Amino acid sequence: MGDWAIKVDNISKLYRLGVREKKSDTLFESIGNVLRAPVHNFKQLWKQSHFNDLSEKNIFWALRDISFEIKKGEAFGIIGHNGAGKSTLLKILSRITEPTFGEARVKGRISSLLEVGTGFHPELTGRDNIYMNGTILGMTKKEIDRKLDQIIHFSGVEKHIDSLLKFYSSGMKVRLGFAVAAYMEQEIIIVDEVLAVGDAEFQKKCLGTMENVSSQGRTILFVSHDLGAIQTLCRRSILLKNGELINSGDSKDMVREYLDSNDMSITQLSERKDRTGKGDVVFTDIQLIDNDSDKATSTVVSGSDISFLLFYTSNKLEQLNDMEIEIDIYNKNRGFISSLNNRMTHTVLGGLNKSGVIECRVENFPMISGRYRIDIFLNANGTYCDGIKDVLFVDVINADPYKSGFGHTQDRGGVRLVQEWKPR
């Protein structure tokens, strides 16, 4: 037997992909399609939950033959890209959805925190919502009665506890939701991306609570994009990719392997038609290089040394005497963050071949975690030649280089500066 808490045995989950509708060529055919539509639609809807022929090409394996075991009292991490199957796995273990094949065993009461404040209703007071959310998470009214004061205190919204939730700020809602979750008594807690919300202080509070929970001998299963948090909290992790289990073991090794596997950032830049400029000289490709591993990537750890490689080719100009390249960095909401330009560094790019690569190296890339969009522009011999928006999306991952457990997140501003402190 052994003292396991969760035992996953060859779990697979299938979904059906949307299939492109057949287009009709004639009026007659389209009338026929309209008449056939109800039968066709019915079949499509029916098939969403029925799988008979596994060789059908529109079947998608969200998870494939996943097996692992989590020990009692262990904090366990799941790492993987978007779409790797992390959330599906959590949903199966929380019994929200059923696996198509395989089985899992769970010892003890399980509670899943896939979202903060599930079941909150804007027309109820904060107090009523504590009961609503608490019972949804599997607590009884008695348990909540007993802890109500502590929950309210922990949430820090005492003054507003009897006003309707719709008058709460989004931050207050998150606090209230997390406060309820913090007082759950289940033996196993499943957490998904909860830490992605709230300000840094709040996130620290959450992490602290989770460490607390883990030290009480309860089991935690944790999914997050914050690799720092996974490393701090979980000793062991599994790495998922495209629904398959790639590796399992020490969290540090898994995070390393995850970062190394991000080697797919080759944008089909040469195919892009939405360009501005005369087109005498054009960009053909852009790559982001992580200088630690010397590999192309789209995910970088905040504070690492990176390079942008810009591939260009000249269509008309024989001589490239003076090239000016600009890389503009925007946040995901298109807020302008910064701009890199060779003229800023007094670098003349002249006497170049008709086609080649320009490198722009940035040390200690200071962006905090999030997704960034890159636009690039090119002037050659004084003429604006090429400009493309959103050539690259860069995902930056939080780092904790000082091992303080005090991450640098959105609410501490937009950039992370290298710093050193001492009394003087």
Partner 1 sequence: MKGTTEIAEKETLIRRSSEWRWLNWAEIVQYRDLLYFLTIRGVRAKYAQSVLGVSWAIIQPLFTTVVFTVVFGRFAKVDSNGVPYLLFNFIAMLPWTFFSGTLTDASVSLVQNNTIITKVYFPRIFIPLSAALAKWLDFAIAFIVLIVLLFYFKINPGWNLIYFPLLLIDLFLVSMALALLFSAMSVQYRDIKHGMTFLVQLLLYFAPVVYSTYSISATWRNWYALNPMVGVIEGFRAVFLGTAMPWGWITTSFLVSAVLFVFSAAYFQRMERSFADVA
Task: State the residues that interact with partner 1 by CB under 8 A.
Answer: 15, 42, 45-46, 48-49, 91-110, 112, 114-115, 118-119, 121, 123-124, 128, 131-132, 135-141, 164, 187
Give min distance, CB of 59 to partner 1, in A.
Answer: 13
Q: Are strands 323-331 and 336-341 parallel, antiparallel or unpaired?
A: antiparallel
Give min distance, CB of 102 to partner 1, in A.
Answer: 7
Give min distance, CB of 112 to partner 1, in A.
Answer: 6
Q: Which two tokens stand for residue 12?
A: 């697979």
Residue 91: count of CB within 10 angstroms of its CB: 19
Give min distance, CB of 124 to partner 1, in A.
Answer: 6
95/361 with CB nearer partner 1: 95
How many C-alpha atoms does 310 have within 13 Å on its Cβ side? 26
Give min distance, CB of 238 to partner 1, in A.
Answer: 17
122/351 with CB nearer partner 1: 122
Q: Which residue is it, tokens 């799988």?
A: 51
135/342 with CB nearer partner 1: 135
DSSP 8-class letter at 166: G
For residues 365 and 112, what is the distance between their CA atoms, to the nearest angstrom?
36
47/235 with CB nearer partner 1: 47
97/339 with CB nearer partner 1: 97
For residues 224 and 191, what is the distance between their CA atoms, to the nearest angstrom?
8
100: part of which helix (H) or strand (E)?
A: none
Give min distance, CB of 137 to partner 1, in A.
Answer: 7
Rounded to the nearest 5 degrees, what angle is found at the Cα of 151, between the Cα atoms of 149 and 155?
Answer: 120
Q: Is 31 exposed, middle or buried (0-12, 13-18, 19+ CB in 10 A)?
A: exposed
How many residues appear in the chain?
A: 424
- N- to C-terminal Cα separation, the chain: 59
48/353 with CB nearer partner 1: 48
Give min distance, CB of 108 to partner 1, in A.
Answer: 5
Q: Maximum distance among all alpha carbons in the chain?
A: 87
* Residue 104 · residue 93 · CB < 8 Å: yes
Positive or negative, the Cα torsion across 162, 163, 166, 171?
A: negative
Give min distance, CB of 94 to partner 1, in A.
Answer: 5
Give min distance, CB of 331 to partner 1, in A.
Answer: 27
Give min distance, CB of 98 to partner 1, in A.
Answer: 5
Q: Which of 398, 401, 402 is nearest to 200 (CA)?
A: 398
Alpha helices, DSSP H, located in 109-193? 126-136, 141-155, 170-182
- The sheet with strand 306-314 has its strands ordered as 295-296, 281-290, 306-314, 355-362
Buried b (16+ CB within 10 A) or exposed e, 328-342: bbbbeeeeebeebeb
Strand pairing partners for 236?
76, 250
28/46 with CB nearer partner 1: 46
* Residue 385 · residue 316 · CB < 8 Å: no
